[in-house]
Amino acid sequence: MANNILKYRDFLRLFDFISSKGVKSGSEYELSGIRAQHDFDGYTCWLAYKDLTITLLFHGKFDVEFDNKDTFDEFYKKANSLNALN
């Protein structure tokens, strides 16, 4: 996720890191305020942070939705930090 370029593989790496190192609560995992969950068959995954939601789809597509740019900036910094640990 360097140079402000969001890549699908970075989101997948982050999803895997959170789901393996995060705290499980119900059907989702949480680490550093970022939540990760998936549907029953694993074809669709979600990352969520405050008002931001990233939907990861099976064929390498993703959708990023957020209300506040500040939230996106915070998420971006946290995601880079977590991916660096991975």
| Amino acid 3: pLDDT | 47
The three-state secondary structure class of 23 is: strand
User: Which domains, ranges and CATH numbers included, belong to the chain?
Assistant: 2-85 (3.30.310)
What are the tens digits of pLDDT across the range 25-65? 999 999 999 999 999 887 899 999 999 999 999 888 999 99
CA distance 76 to 44: 21
Those residues whose C-beta lies under 8 Å from the C-beta of residue 30, and which sit 6 or more positions away, are 18, 22, 23, 36
The Cα–Cα gap between 72 and 78 comes to 10
pLDDT band per the 50, 70, 90 thresholds, residue 73: very high
Provide φ and ψ at 51, rounded to 5°: -95, 15
Query: pTM for the complete prediction?
Result: 0.89
